[in-house]
Amino acid sequence: MNVAPGQSAFLATPEKALLDLIFLSPRGDDAAFIEELRLQGTAALSSTALKAAARPFDSPSMERAVAEICARRADEKETGG
């Protein structure tokens, strides 16, 4: 993304930004930590994009985090909220 003449910046997708936060937080993959984030609108996140964003981390903790977020997505879609 160009931000000014001769300057550019990278812009993370919502899925990548969330996984970066989780990765950089101690015990970020814990269900309790993810619950404390009080995420809203997880149904708008793409499970495919979450899995793709987690792949470069090559980390079991990121796989757990994605599974937890995907479960919350499914719950949110079922309950409508």
Please write the tens of the pLDDT for every residue from 19-34: 999 999 999 999 999 9
Average pLDDT over residues 34-58: 93
pLDDT of residue 37: 95
Query: What is the number of structural domains in the chain?
Result: 1
- State the alpha helices, DSSP H only, in the chain: 14-24, 31-36, 47-54, 60-79
Q: Domain range for residue 49? A: 13-79
Domain contains 7: no
pLDDT of residue 54 exceeding 80: yes
Please tell me whether residue 46 adopts helix, strand or coil conformation. Answer: coil
Domain contains 6: no
pLDDT of residue 77 exceeding 80: no
